[in-house]
Each structure stands twice: as structure tokens, then as C-alpha cells.
Amino acid sequence: MKARKAVKLQGNVQVLITSNSQMRALNRQFRGKDKATDVLSFPAAEPTATKSKLKSKNAGDIAISFEIAARNARQLGHSTAFEIKILALHGILHLAGYDHESDNGKMARKEAQLRRELRLPDGLIERVQAATSAETSKARRGTPPASIDKRRRSA
């Protein structure tokens, strides 16, 4: 994949497309979060050198929930294949050491650049930023977030 080379990620990346139940189990086991998620990245252990040859040429593994990818694709009006590519790109950036939670936008900028080059729709970071921005705007106007508003209607 072009993204792997663009971020100078050495080695192969294995991608598992799986179910929500498997993603939930992986997320619980490795991150302590008991819920399904769209994408998880697992960097490979440091390769061991023996006589100048690497035992492992694996950069890491990525797991993607097909169910979440398909749902997001429907909601966003693009194909599931595009959504899986977006999720794989996001995972590859994590394998390359990017961390959108702590890098002051560096990963977001790189992901946006690569999405443009690969002709992919908005990525995960932009979606979260847009949703957060919309919720902030509602709060400023006195409109409750959707989750609170739903609870009010059902009460």
C-alpha cells in the first residue's frame, strides 16, 4: 500500500477484517475497553537480527470491524471498500508511531494528505473533530447533545 511507504513503515502489515464480537474481545484484551471499535493496530515486536537477517519482516497487524465499516459507509454515502481503506490508513499511521491523541494534529495532517493522494473521503480524525465541533456549537446555543436529548424524550 502506498501509505505504508509514505510513512516509511518497514515490513508487511497484516489486516484482519472481522466481526464486532471479535473486535470487542480484542479491545477488551489489549486496551481494557469492553466495546467494539472500528480499527485496532498492533505494532510488531522489535525484529530480532541474526547474521544481518531479520527474523520478522512484519511491521504489525491491523484489525477492522466489517460491521462498523459497513455501517459507517452507509451513513457517510460511500462504499464499504472505501471505508476499509480509510480504517487501514488510520491503522498504518498508528503502526508508524503517529498518535492523534497526543501529537497536536500531526497525525491528522498526515492522514488528510494521504487521503487526498489516495482519493479517499474524510477520515476518522476529521469525523470526530466535526462531531465534537457540532456538539460544541449545540452546547453554545443551549441545544443538548443528541445523547442527552434522547434520554429526555424517553423519560
Please compute, for residue 103, the number of CA atoms within 13 A of its CA located in the half-sphere on the CB side: 15
pTM for the structure as a whole: 0.71
Write down the pLDDT at residue 149: 39
Top-tier CATH class for 2-46+55-139: alpha beta
Length of the chain as a residue count: 155
pLDDT of residue 11: 85
Residue 79: count of CB within 10 angstroms of its CB: 14
SS3 string of 101-138? CCCCCHHHHHHHHHHHHHCCCCCHHHHHHHHHHHHHHH
Phi then psi dihedrals of residue 34, to 5 deg: -90, 65
pLDDT at 88: 93
Q: Where are the domains of the chain?
A: 2-46+55-139
Q: Judging by beta carbons within 10 Å of its beta carbon (0-12, 13-18, 19+), is residue 99 exposed, middle or buried?
A: exposed
Beta bridge partners of 16: 63
> pLDDT value at position 4?
65
- The stretches in the chain having pLDDT less than 70 are 1-4, 46-56, 122-155
Terminal C-alpha separation, the chain: 50
pLDDT for position 154: 37
H helix or E strand, kind and range, residue 153:
helix 146-154
Residue-level pLDDT at 117? 87
Strand, helix or coil for residue 142 = coil
